Structures are given as C-alpha cells and as structure tokens.
Amino acid sequence: KVIIVDNDATNHYLESLSAHGAIFIIGDPCDESVIKKSLANYADKIICMFDDDSLNLRIYKKLNRGNIYLHISNRILYDYFADEGDDDIEIRKVFNVYSNAARKLFLDNPLNQYVDTTLDGVQVKLAITGDGILAKEVLFHAMNLNGFYNGSKLHITLVSDIMATAENHLLYTLDLDN
C-alpha cells in the first residue's frame, strides 16, 4: 500500500499512481492534519523525499515513528546521518537519490570498459553536462576514482548553461591534482 502526500494537486503522476493502487493526499506534508490523515491510512514504510532537507527532517520529527526512509540532499548532512546518526533521530535509512543515480551510472558504465586503463599513456576523459545536484554527484564520484592502473589521471570537462551564456565562456578542465 502506497500513500503519497503532495502539495501540488496538478502533479500528473498522482492519477497514474492511483491507478496502480496508491492513495494520494493533497496538502502540506508538514501540516498536522495531513500527517494524521496519512497515518490513519497506515503505511508500513514512510519515505520523506523532498529536495529540502529541513522539510524532510520536520516531517520526520512530526511523524515520530520508526521505519522511515529519509532523503538528504546535502552531502555533509547525508554523511552525518548515514554514518553516525543522531541520538534524538532514529532513522531507518538515509538516502540521496542523486548520489545513488551517480553511483549506478558508474557501476553500469565502468570507465575502463571503454578505455584500456592498463596501457601506458592512455588517458580517460569525462564530460559532465549541467550544473545541478546530479552533475555535482557525478563529479564527486568521478573524483573518487582518483587514478587508473597505468597511473594516468581522470580528466574532467564540465559543461553547463551558466558557462555557455557567460560573456567570455571557456571550457575548463579539472586536473584531479588541483
């Protein structure tokens, strides 16, 4: 049984999800009456998945129950809750959809599958487009690779609309030594 709380009544996914058995409630997810209404429909697991970390934490505190999955966008907070947790907050699972997507990208498409990183002089070049959270997570996971078997560094080029519309735009490459 899936219960979705959304404050956007125009979200076109709600109707298609309800066709598959999901229940949806329109309203502010932090509102006490909306929380009580969602709890009255009892869900086995609760997922707080807004991009606003403070909103997710506020909802969690008001729910005051276990088996909650909490989306945390901020890498510092994510690492804190995932590794150490907080004595006042018992969270069943902390996740970051952007980090998970970036990790899956590298697992599904290993860089050494396309480039032989054992041969001397071979360099791996990666272009990341966009400047959103997902692009930052891809950059973070790419930088964690550090180097390859042949000792070469990963060369990364970032391309974003912000750079393209700048007066004197250039493509900057990042050397992981920097």
pTM of the model: 0.63
Q: What is the predicted pLDDT for the residue at 70?
A: 83
Q: At 127, which amino acid appears? A: A
Strand runs labelled E in 15-162:
23-26, 46-48, 68-71, 93-95, 124-129, 154-159
Q: Higher pLDDT residue, 155 or 92? A: 155
Q: What is the predicted pLDDT for the residue at 175?
A: 47
Query: Is-contact 26 43, C-beta < 8 A?
Result: no
Q: What is the predicted pLDDT for the residue at 79?
A: 73
Specify the DSSP element, H or E, that contains 106.
Answer: helix 97-108
What is the number of residues in the chain?
A: 178
The dihedral through the CA atoms of 47, 33, 44, 17 has a sign that is negative
